[in-house]
Amino acid sequence: MRQQHDFLVLGSGIAGLSFALRAARHGTVAVLSKRGRAETNTAYAQGGIAAVFAPGDSFEQHIHDTLVAGAGLCREDAVRVAVTEGPPRVRELIELGAEFTRDATPFGYHLTREGGHSQRRVVHATDLTGHEVERTLLEACGRAGVRFFEDHHAIDLISEAKVVGGRGGDRALGCYALDTRSGSVDVFLAKVVVLATGGAGKVYLYTTNPDVATGDGIAMAHRAGAAIANLEFIQFHPTCLYHPQAKNFLISEALRGEGGILRNRSGEAFMERYDPRKELAPRDVVARSIDSELKRRGDDCVFLDMTHMTKAFLVEHFPHIYTTCLTFGIDMAVTPIPVVPAAHYVCGGVCTDLNGRTSIPGLLAIGEVACTGLHGANRLASNSLLEGMVFGQRAADTAREIAEQAPAAPRAPDWDPGRAVPPDEGVIVKQNWEEIRNLMWNYVGIVRTDKRLARAQHRLDNLVGEIQEYYWGYLVTRDLLELRNLADVARLIVACAQERKESRGLHYTLSWPQKDDARFLRDTVLMRGKPAPEAWPRS
């Protein structure tokens, strides 16, 4: 199949859908998702969307909190854009039909609190905010005539240089995508290509992320020559449910915001030994404190204690978490919830300016796959849905301008499978996949050292070689494509972590435990086959 559209969006989470809805006013839009259209990180978001609505709150306070969490590396203009454009985006969602939790305040909606926020600032739909946002945007995009291609797994970008045999520029023209139902590889072409592929939590053994989060967009952009930055800053959420049958179930930070207490197995409320802000310290501090407590005591989990709250309050505010815990035999009104930290969010990604432009002409990036500079070295809770909406819309306006000047319909050859044969050794893919996720957890996790990073790099170099060989020899499958991307992204994370010889925000290494502003108050930028620039064009 060959498809030609004005705008090609890879990803159907909050960023891709915010873009698509606005871009549909200006041209035809195709949205690809590698599984069902609603299977996104967005749909699992619990806490909410950070935006200034409370009477005592102000843009300056939200900006300040974001900059403090970002540990010196936020780009202030990106922070200002996200914070000031957030409230109108939230109001638009409400106008589109999003049902957020209401209360009797003049604003009319309940605001919850999360770590690092100096005010109650988080708009939410009980503890199912992402589900409500995804539903609202999907319905609106449907009404706007956006075309969805589900089970279409983008393999690689098509660039002008590839099409005209190296004589053209590196403009992005589209992508090849595997239709995972039929097995065919389809060609999608467009005037503007938008990466909205989300995060890469699956690079780690333990993660809050669903299976789609394999870092495909970062890997594709890097292979195409785009600038990538700050991948050493992986956010570990402090509280993922610890239960043998629970896969990736998050226990929202909003529980601590509403008064939850972290205790060790002896019942001690240990956070006060680590930080005066206790349970409401920024995530990196809480996750590291839990990690340290687990290592110190040799325990396998800590506990989030909500038992001092009434069952009625818990059920009203956290119905999804309450009932899910119950299915695992935990009544959180009676029993503290066993929790551990897990990989949650990638602060770095494909470098963009404030309008989603990457270093490749015709290629935009938005949402978690992008590095706008909003999060710096650590993301403030609930600033991610905000980022997806704000920059998704801004990118749509930029895309319109790019499309107006884009060359006539590009041509591109069909996918060439070469001499590839059907895969016969699924066990190789499984083994490599598990090895990567284990080594990333053990060597490139919450606490790092130079030695562990070197070991990870060595193993990954070997694995990438094996995977490349397999990739060229066999017909592509979804598992193989994801494995290839996981391996590429893991290597990039390690490369960024090795560059940063200091501890800052989410990057904590025992080899360089101090912050070093003189040498490292800058981004870690990588570009394939080129010397890394110190910074990337940002406006």
Instruction: Pull the structure tokens for residue 247.
Output: 């896969």
**Residue 290 falls in which region: left (phi positive, over 0), alpha (psi -120 to 50) or beta:** alpha
Pairing status of strand 49-50 against strand 302-305: unpaired
Nearer to ligand FAD, 131 or 459 (CB): 131
Write the DSSP string, 486-519.
HHHHHHHHHHHHHH--S-BTTB-BTTS-S--HHH
Long-range contacts of range 56-64, CB-CB < 8 Å, 24 or more positions apart?
Answer: 56/119, 57/119, 57/120, 57/121, 59/83, 59/84, 61/118, 61/119, 62/117, 62/119, 62/121, 64/118
Q: Does 208 bind ligand FAD (CB under 6 A)?
A: yes
- Which of 48, 86, 238, 341 touches ligand FAD (CB under 6 A)? 48
**Residue 373 falls in which region: left (phi positive, over 0), alpha (psi -120 to 50) or beta:** left
How near is the Cβ of 482 to ligand SIN at its closest, in Å? 23
- Report the distance separating Cα 409 and Cα 324, nearest Å: 50
Site of tokens 């053990």: 442
How near is the Cβ of 182 to ligand SIN at its closest, in Å? 36
Which 492-521 positions form the footprint of ligand FAD (CB under 6 A)? none
Span near ligand FAD by CB under 6 A; candidates 208-216, 291-299, 453-461, 491-499: 208-216
Q: Does 239 bind ligand FAD (CB under 6 A)?
A: no
Which 465-494 positions form the footprint of ligand FAD (CB under 6 A)? none
Q: Does 257 bind ligand FAD (CB under 6 A)?
A: no
Angle between helices 383-405 and 14-23 (to 10 degrees): 40
Q: Does 197 bind ligand FAD (CB under 6 A)?
A: yes
- Single-letter residue type at 52: V
Comparing C-alpha atoms, which of 481, 485, 407 is closest to residue 173?
407
Nearer to ligand SIN, 215 or 238 (CB): 238
- Which of 7, 206, 322, 345 touches ligand FAD (CB under 6 A)? 345
- Report the distance separating Cα 367 and Cα 391, nearest Å: 7
How near is the Cβ of 288 to ligand SIN at its closest, in Å? 17
Q: Does 186 bind ligand FAD (CB under 6 A)?
A: no
Span near ligand FAD by CB under 6 A; candidates 164-172, 179-187, 377-385, 420-428: 377-385
Instruction: Pull the structure tokens for residue 175.
Output: 């992508």
**Whether the Cβ atoms of residue 132 and residue 98 lie closer than 8 Å to each other:** yes
Q: Does 45 bind ligand FAD (CB under 6 A)?
A: yes
Nearer to ligand SIN, 44 or 148 (CB): 44
Pairing status of strand 29-32 against strand 228-229: unpaired
Which 355-374 positions form the footprint of ligand FAD (CB under 6 A)? 367-369
Which 405-424 positions form the footprint of ligand FAD (CB under 6 A)? none
Span near ligand SIN by CB under 6 A; candidates 188-196, 377-385, 425-433, 498-506: 377-385
Contacts of residue 487, defined as CB under 8 A and 6 or more positions apart, other chains included, come to 432, 436, 460, 463, 464, 467
Does 283 participate in catalysis according to the annotation?
Answer: yes
- Report the distance separating Cα 397 and Cα 221, nearest Å: 21
Q: Does 209 bind ligand FAD (CB under 6 A)?
A: yes
Q: Does 352 bind ligand FAD (CB under 6 A)?
A: no
Nearer to ligand SIN, 68 or 535 (CB): 68
- Report the distance separating Cα 195 and Cα 480, nearest Å: 20
Options 283, 394, 452, 500, the catalytic residue: 283
3-state secondary structure (DSSP) of residue 123? strand
Residue 489 interface partner, choices ligand SIN, ligand FAD, none, CB cut-off 5-8 Å depending on type? none
Q: Which residue number is nearest to ligand SIN in terms of Cβ?
A: 47
| Bridge partners, 421 (sequence order) | 474
How near is the Cβ of 263 to ligand SIN at its closest, in Å? 18
Q: Does 201 bind ligand SIN (CB under 6 A)?
A: no
How near is the Cβ of 467 to ligand FAD at its closest, in Å? 16
Q: Does 198 bind ligand FAD (CB under 6 A)?
A: yes
How near is the Cβ of 12 to ligand FAD at its closest, in Å? 4
Pairing status of strand 49-50 against strand 525-526: unpaired
Residue 15 interface partner, choices ligand SIN, ligand FAD, none, CB cut-off 5-8 Å depending on type? ligand FAD
Which 15-74 positions form the footprint of ligand SIN (CB under 6 A)? 46-47
Q: Is the dihedral of CA 330, 335, 340, 341 positive or negative?
A: positive
Which 241-260 positions form the footprint of ligand SIN (CB under 6 A)? 252-254
Q: Does 381 bind ligand SIN (CB under 6 A)?
A: yes
| Bridge partners, 176 (sequence order) | 156, 187
Residues in touch with ligand FAD (CB under 6 A): 10-16, 32-35, 40-42, 44-48, 129-130, 152-154, 196-199, 208-209, 212, 216, 250, 345, 367-369, 382-385, 388
Residues annotated catalytic, as ranges: 283
- Binding footprint of ligand SIN on the chain (CB under 6 A): 46-47, 252-254, 381-382, 384
